[in-house]
Chain A
Amino acid sequence: MPARILIVEDEALVAMELRFVLEDLGYEVVGTAADSAAALKIAKETEVDLALVDIHLSDGPTGVTIGRELAVDHKVAVLFMTANPGMVRNGVVGAIGVLSKPTEERIVQDAVAYALDLRSGAVRNMAPPQLQLFEDGPRA
């Protein structure tokens, strides 16, 4: 069964491109959400393995809270993808790390593979150097 991924991103074009990249890689994108309400609704109704979360969403800088809730309450692996990684420099409880946007397909691919490995407990892939791992986050 392919891993189920949730995209939390308010820029439709960025979300769409990310969806295509992930689907090309064989993942199932269970939904894209542009704000916190939509994101948490999907998480409640659907099984999610991994969430890629932007910080600035259509309802403000709510990504940090969403990421924490997804990780802590819904046991989802969480990666932040943001243009302003400084916002989460001190880490977010339960989340793995942060990618600086814009990034490249190859990096997204490696980061997603690493995050899913962590979740399954069998780490085969190295984290790409562009992925800033949170100090207190889940580690291999």
Chain B
Amino acid sequence: MPDTSPDRPSWTEAERLAALRDYEILDTEPERAFDDIVDLVATLFDAPIAVVNLIDEGRQWFKAEKGLGVRETPLETSFCAHAILEADRMVVPDATQDPRFACNPLVTEAPGLRFYAGQLLKSAEGLPLGTLCVLDTKARPEGPTDIQMKALEVLAAQVMTQLNLRRSLKHQQRSQAEFRAIADSMPQMVWSTLPDGFHDYYNARWYEFTGVQDGSTDGEGWNDMFHPDDQERAWARWRHSLETGDPYEIEYRLRRHDGVYCWTLGRAMPVRDEAGRIVRWFGTCTDIDDLKKMDQAKELLSQELSHRIKNIFAVVSALVALSARQYPEAKPFSQALRTRINALARAHEFVRPHSDVSQPLMGDMTLHGFLAALFSPYTDDEGKPRVRISGDDATFDDQAATSVALLFHELATNASKYGALSVSGGHVEVTTKEAEEGDFHLAWRERGGPEVKGVPQTAGFGSSLATLSVEGQLAGKLSRNWNPDGLEVLIELPGTALSRRKAARTLTTS
């Protein structure tokens, strides 16, 4: 419990001593800056003795002294130990007349002190550390002058300024040493630059990884450490960050000590002052080579898997054809089944994760691209598509792909048997539209085909499959209008139908 009563200090002796020791001044060599101050004080007071006195545990230690000839004395005989209990200053005109000091051996015996004036030395946090004081062997009943006391106050403040500067410098050096210790023990490479991007610091890991000489990558030398193909890109990003203050992030290949380029993630953030000006950049390089290799292995595996899957489609398709060979009456059935299998295989090709190598040869990885590929067999004499696609494009994922593939495969097959694609000159308009509230509308309109004479008596399996794809799999609505000039199929899909995975992800992350 802090005691705030006027005759008891608000600090404990332990706190005071901790504060004093934090200055790391005790038992240091004399310094000119402090010696000059005690000289000046002695002169101003025309007194033989002046000291910068710090009250340690059991002793008082003098950073600077004039007229004493010793660096420390025991606390028992100290005037200043009393002074630090006083507010800011203490004046004793004649010690023999002061009950606190009359029996003090320094008063009763040599050197026979009489006069004392001390100004408190207070830490920045308000803890008393000691005094700047002046002593005389002659009593001064008239006391010091106002000017003398003012000078003492100013000079005591000067002593504290010196001590505080010293302490700040020490703290800064310590935090720098701590930073270096942390940076050097990190598995990552750490670097730092001036605001203009001049590299002036790298941690031990950088030198260990790259094997270059200390300091050899200072300034702009860092860029040469990266793969020639990455240097220009790295410069461009770095320049951009320097100009804008945007965080820097890049993946590039860093040359290891053995000459091998390793994939590295480079990042940097600016450090700003109170006014928001960038004063420094701190950056790291993280070795992500193993991660990259794992990614590449994953990509290979994914390609291999996808190849297997497509091969299975081909084998199943061949198996169906071979099985049907013995039963000529099953040929139309087997052909219909095979075209459906082929449509699914095509869907798979479009939506699996792709790299540059595995991308389909034709078209974009979007709904329109997919539909264009699916309808590519239907062309007129000039090679122009007979199924014309227009409207808003969309991306879609593997979960939606099989349903979309089956739906449009059935519509196209039906049209080529009975509808607009069964006669030359007929065509189909497919329009896609992003409707309100994120819904997605698709319309299939046949034009120029045979006249439609009402709703057909029986619905084939193909149309059931189309309905099932939309209403069962995609949670949408499918309606057919048997208009005389051609079949119209309207499909309404909820916004999430085309990318269910993405929708699920958005839900879990929001």
Residues of A within 8 A of B (CB): 11, 13-14, 16-18, 20-21, 56, 83-87, 89, 98, 100-105, 107, 126, 128-130, 132
Contacts and interface: CB of A to CB of B under 8 A. Distances in A.
Contacts of A128: 377
A26 B315 CA distance: 23
Given A17-B322, A130-B376, A85 B314 contact: no
Contact of A132 (B311, B315, B361): B361
B357 to A, nearest CB: 5
Interface residues of B, number: 32
Interface in B299-331: 303, 306-307, 310-311, 313-315, 317-319, 321-322, 325
Contact of A13 (B319, B338, B379): B319
B383 interface: yes
Nearest to B345: A102
A11 B315 contact: yes
Interface string B442-485: 00000000000000000000000000000000000000000000
Contacts of A20: 321-322, 325
B307 A102 contact: no
B362 interface: yes
Contacts of A105: 321, 335
Given A11-B314, A14-B315, A86-B361, A102 B342 contact: yes
B365 to A, nearest CB: 12
B318 A129 contact: no
Nearest to B317: A102
Nearest to B348: A83
A13 B322 contact: yes
24 contacts: A11-B315, A11-B318, A14-B318, A16-B322, A20-B321, A20-B325, A83-B311, A83-B313, A84-B307, A86-B361, A89-B361, A101-B313, A102-B314, A102-B338, A102-B345, A104-B335, A104-B339, A104-B342, A105-B335, A126-B383, A128-B377, A129-B376, A129-B383, A130-B377
Contacts of A85: 360-361
A126 B379 CA distance: 12
B357 A13 contact: no
Select the residue from B307, B311, B342, B379 with max chain A CB neighbours within 10 A.
Answer: B311
Given A101-B310, A129-B377, A132-B361, A13 B349 contact: no
Nearest to A106: B377
A109 to B, nearest CB: 13
B357 A86 contact: yes
B359 interface: yes
Interface of B: 303, 306-307, 310-311, 313-315, 317-319, 321-322, 325, 335, 338-339, 341-342, 345-346, 349, 357-362, 376-377, 379, 383
Contacts of B346: 100
A108 to B, nearest CB: 11
Contacts of A86: 357-361
A20 B335 CA distance: 15
Given A86-B361, A102-B341, A102-B342, A16 B314 contact: no
Nearest to A11: B315
Contacts of B349: 100
B310 A14 contact: no
Given A20-B321, A84-B358, 10 more contacts: A16-B318, A56-B311, A86-B361, A87-B357, A100-B361, A102-B317, A102-B318, A102-B338, A102-B341, A130-B376
A103 B303 CA distance: 20
Most chain B CB within a 10 A radius of its CB, from A11, A56, A102, A132? A102
Contacts of B322: 13, 16-17, 20
